[in-house]
Every structure is written in structure tokens, then in C-alpha cells.
């Protein structure tokens, strides 16, 4: 018997069908070994020696796997193809006392019969560099969290936390909130002219006044300019036409998938990744059997294998035409530090169209699969081609501009939603034709502050700044919300008073932790550890030397800060006090302020204005 260990039961079930009766596939249920929760688990005074223990509640699973491994002819560790998966495999190899040189590690980016069979023909040794990178990340996160959090408990409120990535993300949100709070709107006006040129209605915007860009910062200036326009004779002085093209975007990586699923489907990063996990681990397609529909969803690489590109080209030529694919397969460039052993997020079989698999998917799964399939297919297609026409309407030092963008060849757009014609109709117009002004429309505007971050926007900013990696985006946002540092309001993330207070303290006493450049540089160092270019202990040592001094100063100089509890309208039925809103491990709840005399608590329920389909009563959200 050959033993294969993966993370989840769903993954085990799918792979077991591919490998046959000579293999037993068992799930580890995620990490089995980790640092203890009750203590630091890292000794900075002894070379950052790490103390690992079996995670509470996982002992039975580990014992069963150990027993099976002892009887197996061969053990294959087929956990996820990333740092976390490599670390799980490393811990299991040590627990099973397997030979360090043994090729026990099997990796694959998709769960299809062909990919699994191929992966098992080429097992390898565990990558110690990847393990070191994960261990360095885990140790740094533990040092930051377990050293700063007690100070916040003492100075601000119990239950608070700081984190290496979490605190940098909180700072991004607080910096944006400061921009919004400090923003002063500026008034400005634009002038629209409605012209009739050779019986064609043309709307144009004032673009030049005596050769300069118009500056209209109040109503009086706009009114005066409108009068000048009314008293001017205009002609169509110039009509230009030039080709333009629009290239498709690269296939999804984790961050761009979360962004698009957020903006197009209104999915949170956590929800997006949960649904993607289901599509990756395997879906039953009736007579086709069970197979993974997408590749591994935690990736920062836009690479696509040549075999898949050829399959996509063949599919697209058959579905559309040879013109719809470029002469050579497109090559997209990943960001610096991306793990190029991975591929982009793509369908495992491009011929499995969303419509074909829809009967086997939930509505959520279908929507996400369609998004992934469409993005990948479009990424392998030719650019869309346009004709852009621009009309210049002139008279006595005034210039108006009108433009039209006409789609000539759809290219990749043929695989997506059709685009409407943009701009005004300029077809058939001739230079030198009189432009009869029919109306002049002054319009008042005000400059707008930068928008608050949605979850999708925050993920994009974290990626742009190099904060975190694909596996950390979703849990980071969830932690910020659960800690009460930010609130979701109208689909955007707003720092709370507590979050702003904690961020201010971290800026003052732990500037490196919230400094975006420092955090990004640390991520680069951890990537270098994964490539075998840096020693993980030296990376941690260089960080801890200054961090230790910051801790000493914070313990001595950080003043206590009082954060008032939010009072609710709910009355305690035991003592009659207004209950207050508290936060626990699972979010907000109501507690009596009379504690410890009155220990009454209640769940915090929010009405969402949706009637219950069963009884018609108001549905509440916990």
C-alpha cells in the first residue's frame, strides 16, 4: 500500500479516484504541527530555536497517519504547492521519520487525472529553502504578535493584537482615512456645447481658450465664458482619425481574482478563496467523473504552460477564427519575486465552457468559474482594434473637442460581453463645415477625495505595495474586521476609533511594523530565503535587534489610552442598564456594563430588511 497525504477530505476523495486501489489517500486537515498558543514558542536568546507541538485536537489524526505511514511501502506528501504546503510536508516527514533524502514530495498545480499521474512519476525531496521561508515568516509573525499584543492589552484594551502584515494593512487604511478627513473640495466648472454640423448633433467639451486650458473656478467665470461661447461663430476645423488597440489582461493571479470577484460579483476575498478551493479540489461532472476545474488558486505568477496555450489556441480558432488569436502565444510578465513554478489561475480544460459545467455547479461556483474561464480565454486572444475619431470645433480663440471610438475588430472582446459604441457620431462629417451652436451648458463640479478602500481595492493596494503574499490577503482583512480595527460600511473598510488609536501607537513606537517600504522589503527577504539566497535565522536576527529596543521603549513610555465602549439601545433584562457593544473572538456581542455584578450577555443581531420566506418576520444578521 502506498500512502498519500493531502490537506482536505475533498482533495483526498478526488485524487483517490485517479490513483486506484494501490494507493490510500488521507487528509491531514491542514497543519498538524505548529507553535504553541500558550507561549512564544521561539527562543531569541538561543538562535531563535523553535518549539513545535501537535495542535490541540489534531493528535488523533496525526496518530492515525503515523500508523498508516509505518505500514506503507511508500509515503507521498502531496500537500499544496506553496510554502505552507511544503512546511506541512516537512513536519509530517519528521513525524514519520522518513529519510531526508527520500523523494517523498509530490506537487501539482491542478487536480486532474493527467496532472496527478504525471506528478507521481516525478516525486522530489522536500525543498528545505521553502520550509525555511515559511519558518522565518512564522517566527517573525509570532515575535511581532506575541511581543506587541500584551503591551496593547495593558495600555489600550484586552484582546487586541498587532501583526507584521496586519498592522501594515491597517496603516494603509488609516492613511487613506486621513487623506479623506483632510480633503478640501475645490469648485470647478466645465462648458459643454451642443452643435449641429451637417444635420448631425454633436456634443463637445470646451478644451482650449486662447491656446490655454480653461480655468473656470466659480459660477461667475463659467457664466462669462458661456456668454463668450454664445457670441462666437464656429466651424469644424479639424477631423482626425487614428487606429487604436486594446490588449487583453493577463490571466488571474490570487490578488486580481479577489479584486475582480469583489467588483463584479460582490464576493469578499475570503468567500472568493473558499469557492475557488472547491473548484480546485474537484467537482463531480456526472459521466465525466470528478475533476478539478481550475488550477491552484494561491499564486502570484501569470505564467501559462505552452501545452495549455496550444490547447487554448486550437479551441479559440475552432470557436471563433484564426484572426482571433495572435500570431504567437502571448507572454505576460509576473511581478518581481513571483513563484514562477506556479501557473496563473486558469481552467484545467479550456473546452469545459461555463455553460457546459453549469448544471453541476452552484450559482456561486458557476459565477466564479465563468469569471476565471473568460479571463483566461480572453488573455490568449488577439487585441481589439478601434478607430478613434476626434473633431475640433473652433471659433475666435475657443476650441471644443468631441471624440468617437468605433470598434473595428473585437479580438478578445468576442469572448466577453459586447461593448457599446463610445462617444458621439462623427461619421460623414467634413472639415470646414459650419458648426451651429444650439445650446451651451455650464456644469458645476467639485473635486472628490480619494475613495475609501473596498476589500478588493485594499487587496490591490497590498499587492502594489508588496505587503503580504497570495495566502495572506483574505485572512489579513478578516483579522482587521474581527479585531474591531475596521468596519465594513457600504462595501468599504473604515478604520474605527480603536483602529486609529492602535495605528497611532504603532506608528509612534513601532514605526518599522507599519512602514510599508520596510514590510515590503521584509517580504522580498523572505522570498530570497525561499530561493536559498539568504539564511532565515540571519533575516530574523536583523529584524529582532531593533525590534527588541522598540519593545523596551514602548513598555516604559507608552501611555494608557481609554477607549469608550459603544452604548446600545438594548436594555439588560436583569438590571435595566443600557447594554454595551463588546468584541470577542467571533465578532460583536452585547454585554451588561454592570459586570461583574451582572454577567448578562446577548448576541448582537442586526435587521437586514429582508422578510423571512417562511413566516414573514424580519431576518437578522448575527
Q: Which three cell numbers stand for residue 313?
A: 489556441
Interior angle at CA 530, CA 527 and CA 536, nearest 5: 90
Q: In whole angstroms, give the CA distance from residue 222 to residue 185.
A: 18
Closest to 222 measured CA to CA, from 398, 401, 392, 441: 441
Look-up of cell digits 474537484: 282
Look-up of cell digits 501539482: 108
Q: Which of the residues are catalytic?
A: 296
DSSP 301-341: -----HHHHHHHHHHHHHHT-GGGS-SS----PPPTT--TT
Q: In whole angstroms, give the CA distance from residue 128 to residue 124.
A: 12
Look-up of cell digits 482533495: 11
CB atoms within 10 A of CB 343: 20
Q: Which three cell numbers stand for residue 62?
A: 496525526
Q: Indicate the pairing of strand 2-6 with strand 23-27.
A: parallel
Q: In whole angstroms, give the CA distance from residue 205 to residue 391.
A: 11
Q: Strand pairing partners for 403? A: 390
Q: In whole angstroms, give the CA distance from residue 564 to residue 44.
A: 37
Closest to 285 measured CA to CA, from 198, 200, 348: 348
Q: Cα dist. 325→328, 352, 415, 416, 538 in Å?
A: 8, 19, 12, 15, 49
Closest to 450 measured CA to CA, from 175, 216, 259: 175
Cβ–Cβ under 8 Å, residues 189 and 219? yes
Amino acid at each position: 500500500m502506498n500512502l498519500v497525504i493531502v490537506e482536505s477530505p475533498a482533495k483526498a476523495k478526488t485524487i483517490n479516484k485517479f490513483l486506484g486501489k494501490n494507493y490510500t489517500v488521507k487528509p491531514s486537515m491542514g497543519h498538524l504541527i505548529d507553535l504553541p498558543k500558550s507561549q512564544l514558542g521561539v527562543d531569541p536568546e538561543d538562535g531563535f530555536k523553535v518549539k513545535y507541538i501537535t495542535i490541540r485536537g489534531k493528535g488523533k489524526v496525526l496518530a492515525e497517519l503515523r500508523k498508516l505511514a509505518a505500514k506503507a511501502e511508500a509515503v507521498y506528501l502531496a500537500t499544496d504547492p506553496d510554502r505552507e504546503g511544503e512546511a506541512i510536508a516537512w513536519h509530517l516527514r519528521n513525524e514519520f521519520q522518513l529519510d531526508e533524502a527520500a523523494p517523498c514530495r509530490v506537487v501539482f498545480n491542478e487536480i486532474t487525472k493527467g496532472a496527478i499521474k504525471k506528478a507521481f512519476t516525478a516525486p522530489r525531496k522536500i525543498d528545505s529553502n521553502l520550509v525555511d521561508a515559511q519558518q522565518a515568516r512564522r517566527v517573525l509573525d509570532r515575535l511581532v504578535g506575541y511581543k506587541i499584543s500584551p503591551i496593547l492589552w495593558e495600555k489600550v484594551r484586552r484582546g487586541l493584537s498587532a501583526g507584521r502584515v496586519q498592522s501594515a494593512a491597517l496603516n494603509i487604511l488609516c492613511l487613506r482615512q486621513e487623506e479623506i478627513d483632510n480633503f478640501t473640495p475645490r469648485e470647478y466648472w466645465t462648458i459643454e456645447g451642443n452643435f449641429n454640423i451637417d444635420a448631425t448633433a454633436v456634443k463637445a467639451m470646451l478644451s482650449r481658450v486662447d491656446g490655454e486650458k480653461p480655468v473656470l473656478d466659480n459660477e461667475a467665470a463659467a457664466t462669462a465664458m458661456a456668454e463668450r461661447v454664445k457670441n462666437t461663430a464656429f466651424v469644424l476645423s479639424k477631423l482626425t482619425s487614428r487606429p487604436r488597440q486594446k490588449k487583453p489582461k493577463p490571466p488571474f493571479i490570487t490578488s486580481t481574482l479577489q479584486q475582480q470577484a469583489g467588483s463584479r460579483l460582490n464576493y469578499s476575498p475570503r468567500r472568493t478563496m473558499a469557492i475557488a478551493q472547491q473548484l480546485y479540489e474537484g467537482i463531480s461532472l456526472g459521466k465525466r467523473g470528478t475533476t478539478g476545474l481550475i488550477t491552484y488558486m494561491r499564486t502570484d505568477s501569470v505564467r501559462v504552460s505552452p501545452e495549455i496555450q496550444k490547447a487554448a489556441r486550437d479551441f479559440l480558432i475552432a470557436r471563433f477564427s484564426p484572426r482571433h488569436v495572435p500570431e504567437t502565444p502571448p507572454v505576460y510578465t509576473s511581478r518581481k519575486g513571483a513563484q514562477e513554478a506556479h501557473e496563473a489561475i486558469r481552467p484545467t480544460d479550456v473546452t469545459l465552457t461555463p455553460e457546459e459545467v453549469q448544471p453541476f455547479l452552484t450559482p456561486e461556483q458557476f459565477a466564479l468559474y465563468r469569471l476565471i474561464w473568460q479571463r483566461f480565454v480572453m488573455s490568449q486572444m488577439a487585441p481589439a482594434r478601434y478607430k478613434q475619431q476626434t473633431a475640433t470645433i473652433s471659433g475666435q480663440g475657443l476650441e471644443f473637442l468631441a471624440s468617437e471610438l468605433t470598434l473595428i475588430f473585437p479580438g478578445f472582446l468576442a469572448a466577453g460581453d459586447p461593448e457599446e459604441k463610445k462617444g458621439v457620431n462623427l461619421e460623414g462629417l467634413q472639415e470646414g463645415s459650419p458648426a451651429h451652436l444650439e445650446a451651451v451648458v455650464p456644469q458645476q463640479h467639485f473635486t472628490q477625495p480619494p475613495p475609501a478602500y473596498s476589500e478588493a481595492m485594499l487587496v490591490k493596494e497590498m499587492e502594489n505595495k508588496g505587503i503580504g503574499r497570495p495566502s495572506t490577503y483574505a485572512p489579513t482583512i478578516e483579522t482587521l474586521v474581527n479585531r474591531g480595527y475596521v468596519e465594513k460600511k457600504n462595501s468599504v473598510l473604515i478604520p474605527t476609533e480603536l483602529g486609529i488609536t492602535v495605528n497611532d501607537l504603532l506608528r509612534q513606537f513601532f514605526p518599522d511594523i507599519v512602514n510599508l517600504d520596510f514590510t515590503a522589503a521584509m517580504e522580498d527577504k523572505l522570498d530570497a530565503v525561499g530561493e536559498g539566497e539568504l539564511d532565515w535565522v540571519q533575516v530574523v536576527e536583523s529584524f529582532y535587534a531593533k525590534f527588541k529596543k522598540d519593545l523596551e521603549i514602548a513598555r516604559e513610555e507608552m501611555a494608557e489610552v481609554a477607549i469608550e465602549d459603544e452604548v446600545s439601545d438594548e436594555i439588560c433584562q436583569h438590571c435595566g442598564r443600557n447594554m454595551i457593544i463588546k468584541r470577542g473572538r467571533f465578532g460583536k456581542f452585547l454585554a451588561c456594563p454592570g459586570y461583574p455584578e451582572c454577567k448578562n450577555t446577548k448576541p448582537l443581531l442586526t435587521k437586514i430588511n429582508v422578510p423571512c420566506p417562511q413566516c414573514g418576520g424580519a431576518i437578522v444578521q448575527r
